[in-house]
Amino acid sequence: MVMKNANSALLAKNANYLQIDHRVKNVMGSKEVIVLPSPAAWEKFAWTRKYFEEKPKEGYFIWVRKQPSAPLSTCVTIASKKVSQNLRNLAVIEKGIKAQANVVCNALENNLCGRHFAKGKLILKDGVSLEYNHLHKWGQKDFVSPDYDFVLGKNTKLIYNYKNLFPPENLNLKTTIFAGENSNCILNFVVNGQNSKIEIKDSVFLEGENSNSIVRLRLVGKKKSQISAISKIIARAPSRGHLDCQGLLVDKFSKISLAPELVCENNKAQITHEASIGRISEEQLTYLRMRGLSEKEAIDLIISGFLEK
């Protein structure tokens, strides 16, 4: 479902766009894919301004004009102490293209006290199919706030995998999907909270006829984490949607709040949800310990199973 952590170094090396702190280290486009820092795109392509809304200071612009031969990749890293990034990212994928994007945002060390703000827009034109793998890996003192909009044209398909096994101290993750006619989107959010305050807000607007969406949240609360997730589907057209929110509370000092919300504005739409928050049972733990795993190994195995479910 999602790329493995070990791949992040490789991704950074071969990234279409690599930024470390505020420095753009690599911009690698091709004849099919135009890659620019966002400020340069604002200057060069006037049409991008309606998406950026204001002149960006940093971030990346990716314009997939023709079918690319390899997956797209970006990497934005914090490597120094007390860096505050403020990114404006824009990706536009032209009609009928099938693409994969591997996007890494991370901190190189655990105690950099960095701030990472990212406001992004992804425009999927008609017939586009995109698998977007978004991998976060942060230090324990970072503050991270990504806010991404995905605009899905007719007959598009989006698989969005957000995975964060090393969350920052504070994470505000906002994701909004505008689903056009016949579009199909699957969102998977996997967050392993450890000593973190996490707020997740995802909203899917089913605006086009026959659009459909499945949203899966898998949230683990451990080591005094406070996790709050509001997951919402708003059906405005004859469409289908399902929310599947599950939490696993590992220690007694953590808290998970899950709020699935369904708003139906069309009487031909069908939207459903399921939500649950569970715990690791003593029986499961003992069983795995009787297979030779230590208590910690047993908990980790159960958590990894839960997150991959």
Partner 1 sequence: MLKVKNLKAKVEEKEILKGVDLEIKRGEIQALLGPNGSGKSVLAQTISGNPKYKITKGEVFFLEKNITRLSPEKRVKLGIVSVWQTPPEIKGVKFSSLLEKISQKQTEAEKMDFSNFLERELNVGFSGGEKKISELLQVLALNPKLVIFDEIDSGLDIKKLQKVAKIIKKELVEKGVSILLITHWGQILEFLKPDWTSVMVDGKIICKAKDFRKVLKTINKYGYEKCKQCSAC
Q: Which two tokens stand for residue 227?
A: 């996790």
Residue with smaller CB distance to partner 1, 261 or 305: 305
304 contacts partner 1 (rule: CB under 8 A): yes
Residue with smaller CB distance to partner 1, 152 or 298: 298
302 contacts partner 1 (rule: CB under 8 A): yes
Number of residues in contact with partner 1 under rule CB under 8 A: 23
- Which residues from 92-121 bind partner 1, rule CB under 8 A? none
Pairing mode of beta strands 98-107, 255-264 = unpaired
165 contacts partner 1 (rule: CB under 8 A): no
Stretch that binds partner 1, among 26-34, 92-100, 220-228, 296-304 (CB under 8 A): 296-304
Distance between CA atoms of residues 102 and 9, nearest Å: 12
Residue with smaller CB distance to partner 1, 272 or 286: 286
Distances (CA, A) of 114 to 31, 117, 276, 306: 35, 10, 33, 30
DSSP labels, the chain? ----GGGHHHHHHT-SEEEETTEEEEE---SSEEEEEHHHHHHH-GGGHHHH-S--SB-EEEEE-S--SS-EEEEEEE-STT-EEEEEEEEEE-TT-EEEEEEEEEESSTT---EEEEEEEEEE-TT-EEEEEEEEE--TT-EEEEEEEEEE-TT-EEEEEEEEEE--SEEEEEEEEEE-TT-EEEEEEEEEEES-EEEEEEEEEE-STT-EEEEEEEEEEESS-EEEEEEEEEE-SS-EEEEEEEEEE-STT-EEEEEEEEEE--TT-EEEEEEEEEE--HHHHHHHHTTT--HHHHHHHHHHHHHH-
Q: Binding residue for partner 1 (CB under 8 A) from 43, 53, 274, 297? A: 297
Q: Binding residue for partner 1 (CB under 8 A) from 54, 252, 267, 282? A: 282
Please say whether the beta carbons of 20 and 9 come within 8 A: no
217 contacts partner 1 (rule: CB under 8 A): no
Stretch that binds partner 1, among 28-36, 39-47, 200-208, 295-303 (CB under 8 A): 295-303
Please say whether the beta carbons of 93 and 101 come within 8 A: no
281 contacts partner 1 (rule: CB under 8 A): yes
292 contacts partner 1 (rule: CB under 8 A): yes
Smallest separation (angstroms) from partner 1 to the CB of 170: 28
287 contacts partner 1 (rule: CB under 8 A): yes
267 contacts partner 1 (rule: CB under 8 A): no
Residue with smaller CB distance to partner 1, 43 or 308: 308
- Which residues from 18-57 bind partner 1, rule CB under 8 A? none
Stretch that binds partner 1, among 11-19, 235-243, 266-274, 282-290 (CB under 8 A): 282-290
Smallest separation (angstroms) from partner 1 to the CB of 135: 20
279 contacts partner 1 (rule: CB under 8 A): no
265 contacts partner 1 (rule: CB under 8 A): no
Residue with smaller CB distance to partner 1, 54 or 283: 283
Smallest separation (angstroms) from partner 1 to the CB of 280: 9
Interacting residues toward partner 1 by CB under 8 A: 281-284, 286-295, 297, 301-302, 304-309
